[in-house]
């Protein structure tokens, strides 16, 4: 029995996992270590080509795809955590704690669910910053109104969404 397709599928899956992890690191501003052999005074070490940190041959990059807790840790340390957290849970009204939906952590059928969401969110966030800087405040306010309606499920007729759109329109006509 030829096992080539099985091994090819495993190789494709491993490449997919590495790409997701690498993308997460790059978007989160973490170095994706690429080790190289460096010899100094007769001692050979693995050092990252980018950050020059000494890395161990095995496990020099964290497997974020398989560890949603590590993804949460990285995202919590970011200054935009309060903007990301509502996409994966809700805030307790009396404290600063967030209740994370358990399917992002416990779903064994798709352990990469959280990293995929984080990657998409960070890509979107960077685009918003670029859009705000290059196109002005009216487009940003329109984007914000769209996000409130489409992501958070508010009605497009609610007063503060209408007010955002009115301010954006006023900026455009000024």
What does the pLDDT look like over 6-49, one tens digit per residue? Answer: 545 455 455 557 788 889 988 988 888 888 887 778 887 878 88
Burial (CB < 10 A; 0-12, 13-18, 19+), residue 11, is exposed
Q: How many domains does the structure of the chain reveal?
A: 3
CA pair distance 88, 76, nearest whole angstrom: 12
For residue 3, what pLDDT is reported? 46
Nearest to 129 by CA among 32, 30, 27, 31: 27
Both structure tokens of 81: 């955590």
pLDDT exceeds 80 at position 5: no
Q: What is the mean pLDDT of residues 142-164?
A: 85
Residues 38 and 83 in one domain: no
pLDDT tens by residue, 82-131: 788 888 887 766 666 778 888 777 776 676 788 888 988 888 875 454 44
Confidence of residue 1 (pLDDT cuts 50, 70, 90): very low
Residues 1 and 71 in one domain: yes
Residues 172 and 89 in one domain: no
pLDDT exceeds 50 at position 67: yes
For residue 31, what pLDDT is reported? 87
Say whether pTM exceeds 0.75.
Answer: no
Residues 79 and 165 in one domain: no
pLDDT tens by residue, 117-150: 898 888 887 545 444 444 577 778 888 888 888 7
**What are the Cα distances from residue 114, in Å, to 27, 84, 87?**
14, 12, 10
Domain range for 145 is 136-174
Residues 26 and 40 in one domain: no
For residue 7, what pLDDT is reported? 46
Residues 52 and 66 in one domain: no
Cβ proximity of 73 and 63 under 8 Å: no
Cβ proximity of 150 and 124 under 8 Å: no
Confidence of residue 74 (pLDDT cuts 50, 70, 90): very high
């Amino acid at each position: 029995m030829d096992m080539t397709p099985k091994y090819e599928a495993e190789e494709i899956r491993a490449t997919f996992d590495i790409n997701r992890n690498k993308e997460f690191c790059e978007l989160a501003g973490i170095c994706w270590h690429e080790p190289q052999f460096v010899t100094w005074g007769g001692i050979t070490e693995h050092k990252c080509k980018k950050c020059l940190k000494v890395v161990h041959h095995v496990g020099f990059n964290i497997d974020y795809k398989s560890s949603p807790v590590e993804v949460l840790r990285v995202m919590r340390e970011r200054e935009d955590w309060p903007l990301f957290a509502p996409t994966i849970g809700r805030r307790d009204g009396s404290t600063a704690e967030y209740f994370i939906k358990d399917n992002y952590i416990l779903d064994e059928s798709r352990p990469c669910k959280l990293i995929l969401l984080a990657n998409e969110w960070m890509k979107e966030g960077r685009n918003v910053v670029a859009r705000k800087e290059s196109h002005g405040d009216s487009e940003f306010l329109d984007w914000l109104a769209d996000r409130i309606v489409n992501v958070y499920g508010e009605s497009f007729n609610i007063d503060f969404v209408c007010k955002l759109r009115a301010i954006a329109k006023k900026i455009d006509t000024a």
